[in-house]
């Protein structure tokens, strides 16, 4: 009982201990040093490590028993049902090495020069010692150029469709080395294990990947677009404050407004004269008496104030020239589309100049991707002249002739118009000559 009463007893106040020691006088001033203490916990506990290892091992065993063993048993049953031929095919596919390429590892490697023992070099010697074959190669390229020119609609429209092969100047070059090869690194998985190796890649695929990763043409075109747009906005902003160094002429809208004001000024005196000439007729009619069909002043005012819809005439005494009434957009039954919105039209007009700069820069920097010539091909280049009844056409030609197929590789061929000379030239006839 006494213990319970002692628990209910009020405890002494801690703040009153200072008054008991020092009395009413405050304690003397002292310097208090505050130090921060950081309690660090032990990050490595053997018990936690052992428990986590046991949990992971248990989860691995459950996954292996329920998933991996089930799939392995099912695969063994499927293999047993296969025939011997299917098993051999499957084993051959499994034995094929698997190559996983690494990104950004593609590089261009120059091929080794041809040797005297290479079959390509022996083919060069065979072609060089056969003048008839050399001439047939040159004439074949000239005929091919004439066919391509005759299939061009622009040349046919300007020069005529009666194209004939004229003179040609073609040279044959035997390359010193094969075309370069693109190689990329990757992870090779085969019977020997896993290793890092290099594997060749097709040139067209490598060039397309390179252009996709480094789009220099698109970047330069966008830069030209942004530069032209910034200059245009800066010029428009300067015009607002009258800082334009080269002031442009009056815009078309302001010219149209000035023409309307001039028409108002010219039509004002004519309308006043008509009003004065109409006054005597009304006064004589009033003197002779009102006609039986005359309307009251209220009816006249109502009929004058409510013109017929769609009428383009004005009142004789208004002093304003008649103007056409433009129907509003709400009167049209056609639904509005995105192309009819004023925001889109304003954007198109505002970006027309930068867009032209974008297209011009894109046309200057764009080059089509061409494949590399086949190994052992012979390079033929020069000029081919084509004649018509109206003009002389000169074409710059470059192509590769493959000794294995005995034909030109059209994927790597290039045909450019060198010059176009008309046989009869006429001077320009202007208005003064007419």
Residue 421, SS3? strand
Q: The domain spanning residue 129 has which CATH number? A: 3.10.450
For residue 324, being part of any structural domain is answered with no
Say if residue 409 is in the same domain as residue 375.
Answer: yes
**What does the alpha-carbon distance between residue 409 and residue 411 come to, in Å, rounded to a whole number?**
6
Query: What is the mean predicted confidence (pLDDT) over 34-63?
Result: 84
Same domain, 221 and 355: yes
* DSSP code string of 8-59: HSPPPPSTTHHHHHHTTSPPPP---------PPPPS--HHHHHHHHHHHHHH
pLDDT one-digit tens code per residue, 371-426: 889 999 999 999 999 999 999 999 999 999 999 999 999 888 999 999 999 988 77
Q: Is residue 53 located within the same domain as residue 66?
A: yes
**Are 203 and 79 part of one and the same domain?**
no
Strands (E), 291-430: 378-387, 391-402, 407-408, 414-422
Q: Calculate mean pLDDT across residues 295-305.
A: 42
Exposure letters 163-174 (e unless 16+ CB within 10 A, then b): bebeebebebeb
What total of structural domains would you count in the chain? 4
- Residue scoring higher pLDDT (215 or 275): 215
Identify whether 387 is part of a domain: yes
Q: What percent of the chain has pLDDT over 90?
A: 30
Q: What is the mean pLDDT of the chain?
A: 76
Q: Which position has the higher pLDDT, 56 or 351?
A: 56
**Predicted local confidence at residue 313, as pLDDT:** 42
What pLDDT was estimated at residue 304? 45
Let me know if residue 25 belongs to a domain. Answer: no
pLDDT for 326: 43
Q: Which residues pair with 379 in a beta bridge?
A: 173, 400
Alpha carbons 225 and 359: distance in angstroms, whole number: 9
- The beta strand positions in 177-235, using DSSP E, are 181-190, 193-201
Residue 330 lies in a domain: no
Could you give the percent of the chain with pLDDT greater than 70? 69
pLDDT at 25: 58
CB-CB contact of 159 with 419 (8 Å)? no
* 305 pLDDT higher than 70: no
Residues 54 and 153 occupy one common structural domain = no
d(CA 406, CA 72): 55
* Whether residues 373 and 418 fall in one domain: yes
pTM attached to this predicted model: 0.53
Q: Both 106 and 195 in a single domain?
A: yes
At 297, the pLDDT band (50, 70, 90 cuts) reads very low
**Of the ranges 18-22, 121-125, 339-343, the best mean pLDDT one:** 121-125
202-211, 286-295, 382-391: least confidently modelled range: 286-295
Provide the pLDDT for residue 183: 92
Provide the pLDDT for residue 318.
Answer: 41
Return the pLDDT at 161.
87
Task: Decide if 403 contacts 123 (C-beta within 8 A).
Answer: yes
Q: Please state which of the ranges 22-36, 63-77, 284-298 shows the lowest mean pLDDT.
A: 284-298
Question: Domain of 144?
Answer: 119-177+368-422
Q: Is the pLDDT of residue 5 over 70?
A: no
Q: Establish if 251 belongs to a structural domain.
A: no
Q: What pLDDT was estimated at residue 433?
A: 55
Q: What is the pLDDT of residues 124-167, one digit of tens each?
A: 999 999 999 999 999 999 999 999 999 999 999 999 888 999 99
Q: Which phi-psi region, left, alpha or beta, contains residue 382 (left: φ > 0; alpha: ψ -120 to 50)?
A: left
List the structure tokens of 152. Answer: 């061009």
- 384 domain-assigned: yes
Q: Does 119 have pLDDT greater than 90?
A: yes
139's CB contacts (< 8 A; 6+ apart) are 168
CA torsion sign for 21, 23, 29, 32 is positive
Angstrom distance (rounded) from CA 59 to CA 280: 115
* pLDDT confidence band for 340 (50 / 70 / 90): low
Q: What's the rounded mean pLDDT across residues 224-234?
A: 90
Regarding whether 166 and 186 lie in a shared domain, the answer is no
Q: Do 58 and 193 belong to one domain?
A: no
Does a structural domain hold residue 268? no
Is there a single domain that holds both residue 221 and residue 356? yes
Which of 13-27, 126-140, 224-238, 331-345 shows the lowest mean pLDDT across its residues?
13-27
Q: Which residue has the higher pLDDT, 321 or 268?
A: 268
171: Cβ–Cβ under 8 A, 6 or more apart, which residues?
380, 381, 382
66 and 191 both lie in a single domain? no
What is the C-alpha to C-alpha distance for residues 200 and 155, in angstroms, rounded to an integer? Answer: 42
Q: In the prediction, which pLDDT does 23 show?
A: 55
Beta carbons of 153 and 405 less than 8 angstroms apart: no
Which whole number is the average pLDDT over 85-90? 79
Residue 148 within a domain: yes
Q: Is residue 102 located within the same domain as residue 186?
A: yes
> Of 361, 359, 274, 286, which is closest to residue 317 (Cα–Cα)?
274
């Amino acid at each position: 009982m006494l213990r319970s009463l002692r628990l209910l007893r009020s405890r002494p106040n801690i703040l009153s201990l200072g008054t008991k020691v020092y009395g009413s006088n405050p304690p003397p001033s002292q310097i208090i040093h505050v130090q921060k203490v950081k309690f660090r916990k032990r990050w490595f506990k053997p018990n936690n490590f052992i428990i986590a290892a046991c949990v992971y091992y248990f989860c691995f065993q459950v996954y292996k028993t329920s998933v991996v063993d089930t799939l392995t048993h099912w695969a063994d049953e499927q293999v047993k049902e296969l025939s011997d031929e299917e098993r051999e095919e499957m084993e051959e596919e499994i034995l094929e090495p698997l190559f996983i390429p690494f990104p950004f590892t593609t590089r261009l490697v120059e091929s080794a020069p041809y040797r005297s023992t290479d079959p390509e070099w022996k083919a060069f010697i065979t072609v060089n010692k056969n003048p008839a074959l050399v001439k047939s190669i040159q004439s074949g390229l000239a005929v091919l150029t004439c066919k391509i020119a005759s299939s061009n609609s622009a040349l046919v429209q300007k020069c005529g469709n009666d194209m004939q092969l004229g003179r040609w100047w073609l040279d044959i070059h035997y390359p010193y080395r094969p075309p370069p090869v693109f190689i990329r690194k990757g992870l090779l998985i085969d019977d020997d294990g896993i290793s890092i190796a290099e594997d060749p890649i097709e040139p067209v695929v490598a060039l397309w990947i390179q252009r996709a990763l480094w789009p220099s043409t698109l970047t330069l075109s966008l830069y030209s677009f942004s530069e032209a747009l910034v200059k245009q906005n800066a010029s428009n902003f300067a015009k607002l404050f009258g800082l334009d160094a080269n002031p442009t002429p009056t815009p078309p809208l302001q010219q149209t407004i000035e023409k309307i004001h001039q028409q108002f000024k010219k039509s004002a005196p004519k309308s006043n004269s008509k009003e004065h000439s109409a006054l005597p007729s009304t006064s004589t009619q009033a003197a002779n008496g009102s006609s039986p069909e005359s309307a009251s002043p209220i009816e006249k005012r109502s009929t004058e104030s409510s013109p017929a819809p769609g009428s383009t005439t004005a009142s004789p005494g208004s002093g304003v020239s008649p103007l056409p009434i433009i129907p509003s957009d709400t009167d049209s039954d056609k639904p509005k589309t995105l192309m009819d919105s004023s925001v889109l039209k304003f954007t198109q007009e505002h970006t027309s100049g930068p867009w032209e700069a974008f297209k011009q820069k894109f046309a200057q920097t764009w080059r089509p991707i061409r494949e590399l010539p086949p190994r052992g091909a012979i390079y033929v280049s020069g000029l081919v002249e084509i004649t018509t009844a109206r003009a002389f056409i000169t074409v710059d030609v470059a192509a590769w002739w493959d000794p294995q197929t005995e034909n030109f590789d059209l994927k790597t061929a290039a045909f450019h118009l060198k010059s176009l000379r008309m046989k009869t030239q006429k001077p320009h006839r202007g208005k003064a000559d007419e």
